[in-house]
Chains A and B, each alone.
Chain A
Amino acid sequence: MPEGSAALQLQVGDRVVYPNQGVCRVAAIDVKEVAGQSLTFVTMRREEDGAVVMVPQGKIVSIGVRKVASPADVEEIYAFLRSDSDKADLDWKQRARTNLDRMTQGGILGLAEVVKGLQVLSELRPLPTKERELYDNARHLLVSEVAAALGTAEANAEDSIDIVLFPPGKERPKRTAAEFARPGGDEDDMDLDGDLMGLEGGELDLPSDEEPQSESEEESSEEGGEEEGGEEGAEDAPKKRGRPPKAKPAEGAEPAAPKKRGRPPKPKPEVAEGAEPAAPKKRGRPPKAKPPEGAAPAEPAAPKKRGRPPKAKPPEDE
């Protein structure tokens, strides 16, 4: 349930926040007949550009429409932004899901969490394009709501947020991946096998456009995962999904060489000892056979005439 929307009584002229759209003003509440039913519609006009949206009153709460935050809420936002508690998830899928929920259902605190989380993440590494856009959207919505709550200009609202996020006279700190590690994060791996996770201790789980993995890296991480799977394969352990772990090699036996991908190499022909190695095959048309040396040189053939053959002459006797 979005915050502040449990009992939303709207009147014309109220300022509300439509999730992902920004601050709107209720322009009208009127009854319209749609498909034989009379429904009460709330008409809202976005303050930024005047775009109009009509929502049935029964859906207002489920959509997540809420009243504009109060100045006390904004103070809480500043306190939250000032704290060093919120670290974004390094798993990009988890992060994207969380941020989406925060944007739609999280209220003003959800917006602040997205901004703070991505800002802290950008101190570790630059944000990919999609997250940069998300950061910009979240910042825009947060700034416009803070401005509406405090009744100030948007430029002042943004500066008041950034004074907290970027304190004057201080440079932003450089973060390390270790700072983003969550306590007990190993148990919280969604019951995935090591080979599906493909991760080692401090590695990041990035989408393919962020950090393309080379094939050799993939292989090594798969092998690492399989080994881990083998070690964890205790009797009492719960059933795991995915590929079953490989049987352990017998003790003393040499560890099998890592499997290579792709077509196996062609077997080399066995060459007898002392024999000369076969000459490498020449490509192209084979040369013409030479005439034997003892034979008389044949007359050179008349050159072929091109074009239509001459007509047969009529017999002269007739």
Chain B
Amino acid sequence: MIRVVTLDPFDDKQLAKFNRTLYTAFGVGSEHSGSAEVPAGMSEPLDAEKLLDEVKGIRAYKDDKVLLLTSRKLKDRDLPSGKAPTSGFARYGKDRAILSIAPFKDLEKDFKPIARHALHQLGTLWELHHCLDPRCSMYPPWTPSFNQGDHIFCTFCREKSEQKIRLAKS
């Protein structure tokens, strides 16, 4: 089950559409599971890793994947090889991811690129690596063409995610 938890107010209709898209992409249920508060003392731009560790009040079962949705900016990560542009972050194979819609206008107008980013973060939760196919949602998200693509997976990534989901169910 995918649980979308909002850190800021969003339109219910748009959230319903967003959940339908996630359901179509992964074939597992997706729902808006309420909202949570950003921990006190954290200011914009938010530190994605710290936020994932410290956010409280999220109820989920063991196999659930939680996607935190915020309209606030996330801080770019400093990595040993350079600075990584960060519009979202997910721990590989774990259960929590965060997505910021700050680089976009809003959920309605830029629905496609936001959904593509959401697929990317949830794919990371299901142990998908970055893909070589520019049409796939697992392509590195900082590339210029990423936002122009559809919210789909390539055959390899789709099959791998389905396999992971099947294993999780069994």
Contacts and interface: CB of A to CB of B under 8 A. Distances in A.
Contact of B129 (A71, A78, A129, A140): A140
Given A136-B129, A155-B90, A171-B143, A75 B80 contact: yes
A154 interface: yes
Interface stretch (B10-18, B54-62, B81-89): B81-89
Q: Please report whether the interface of chain A is mostly helix, strand, loop or mixed according to DSSP.
A: helix
Contacts of A143: 92, 129
Contacts of B143: 166, 168, 170-172
A158 B93 contact: no
Interface in B115-134: 124, 129-130, 132-134
Contact of A158 (B130, B142, B144, B145): B130
Interface stretch (A99-107, A119-127, A270-278): A119-127
Contacts of A218: none
A164 B144 contact: no
A169 B77 CA distance: 16
A158 B49 CA distance: 15
A153 interface: yes
Contact of B84 (A127, A129, A160): A160
B143 to A, nearest CB: 6
A170 B92 CA distance: 25
A150 interface: yes
Interface in B142-161: 142-145, 156, 160
Contacts of B144: 169-171
B79 interface: yes
A192 interface: no
A161, A166, A172 interface centre (most CB from chain B within 10 Å): A166
A162 B82 CA distance: 10
B94 to A, nearest CB: 9
A12 interface: no
B49 to A, nearest CB: 7
Size band of the interface chain B makes with A: 20 to 34
A162 B130 contact: yes
Contacts of B81: 78, 160-161, 163-164
Contacts of A161: 81
Contact of B89 (A119, A127, A135, A155): A155
A136 B160 CA distance: 11
A166 B142 contact: yes
B79, B89, B156 interface centre (most CB from chain A within 10 Å): B79
Interface in A154-202: 154-156, 158-164, 166, 168-172
B112 interface: no
Contacts of A166: 130, 140, 142-143
Contacts of A160: 79-82, 84
Given A155-B92, A158-B92, A150 B80 contact: yes
28 contacts: A75-B80, A78-B81, A126-B133, A136-B129, A136-B160, A150-B80, A154-B92, A155-B91, A155-B124, A156-B84, A158-B92, A159-B79, A159-B84, A160-B80, A160-B82, A162-B130, A163-B79, A163-B81, A163-B84, A163-B142, A164-B82, A166-B143, A168-B143, A169-B144, A171-B143, A171-B144, A171-B145, A172-B143
Interface of A: 71, 74-75, 78, 118-119, 122, 126-127, 129, 132-133, 135-136, 139-140, 143, 150, 153-156, 158-164, 166, 168-172
Interface of B: 49, 77, 79-85, 89-93, 124, 129-130, 132-134, 140, 142-145, 156, 160
